[in-house]
Structure 1
Amino acid sequence: MTKFSIQNVVFLTSLMSLYTNVFMESVADPTEGFTNVPLTEYNFEIQRPYDIPLNQRYSYENGTRRLWVYADDKPHNPNSHTMPRTEIRIRGLDYSSGVWQFEGYGFVPNGTSGATIVQIHGASHGATTIMLRIIDGNMNYYCGAVRGILATQMYDKWFKVNLIHDVDGGRVTVYIDGEQKAETKDRGPGDLYFKCGVYAASTNISYFMESRWRDIKIYKK
């Protein structure tokens, strides 16, 4: 092998190493340093329109939880004045301090719009700490035009969501497919818990809304 070719090999090896490091940094593991909290079916409380049987708004087959709702459905409680929802409320793991994380793989079919698909419920100021909402195929922090679009072209594909809530530090960090998309101040401590599924916004929603979830996990530090 000539001196020239040896130099080329060294250069290419260094270039490949640099590329690998950059790739690994851009697609991080948000759960590093966290401890997984075991879940059972008890932890998956389903909230749905109060007058509709569960199997008409929710299914769980082959590891996938499918949740759907219609714009003219009733709320989850006869005494509630909120918009229609079919949501998984992570039960038994409410928190008010520490660092907690939700992880799950979501799927939203084309046509669903105006639906919150994952949220942290509870705050000192307002009802929620964060809502991630699908509007016209884009992933929005609350309502996109007001708060910001985090990711685009989300229809008809599986994507991973990680929400990290540092309550004591007052911060929420959002990862989509391992890439950090946002970090923001929270809205104060409270009785906090994670939810995912479909929860209609107050305006500009599609008549039918659906999301699917699998491999839902909760972590804490």
Structure 2
Amino acid sequence: MTALDSLICSRRSVRKYRKEIPPQELIEAMVACALQAPSPANRQPVRFFRIVRPEVRETLRSAMEAGCRSRLATAEERGASEILKNVLANYFRFLQFMFDAPVLFAVGTAPVRRSVAGKLYSSGILAGDSRTSSDDDLSVGLAVMEWMLKGVELGLGSCILTAPLFYLDSPEEILGISPVTLKCFLTLGFPDETPALLKKKDLSDIYREL
């Protein structure tokens, strides 16, 4: 197993952290690695926002609480099953660790120059325009993966979270990051747990030759 193999295989989603805040130089080293990630047409749309001020975290938490109540009320009005309502409530409770993490990031994509796909769709040569959003999602995934792996190398743990977006109607306005489109949140810190390795699919389940 190479050093890179070991780094990749040792990565875990960490949700419990020690109290100390990682040094700024480590955090910046992770973001610098994210900068090296490829993106379609080298558009580099990904933006990292570190949420530092306590009042911003509290505003975000309050908005998520309101969103949870709103979703549960809608579920009740539409006669959703108790199982589905419990999922909504339990997911929200499960996400509270993000507000206790030493470092919290919001990650999104900026409306930089249009991709080749976007130009083809806007010109009418291609129908629809799903690829531009897909390109941005791909860019975020690649950047976050490089960010996470650098964190593992530095002895830091992290977790990527998209579920908070279930409870937020206008997260960009809440955080004041418009016109960026928010894609996920990231927690970061020195791990205070060693999560077990989750079972992964076999190579034969995801790979085949045509």
Instruction: Tell me the TM-score normalized by structure 2.
Output: 0.26
User: RCO greater where, 1 or 2, for CA within 8 Å and sep 6 or more?
Assistant: 2
Higher helix content, 1 or 2: 2
Instruction: Tell me the TM-score normalized by structure 1.
Output: 0.25
Higher strand content, 1 or 2: 1
Bigger radius of gyration among the two: 1
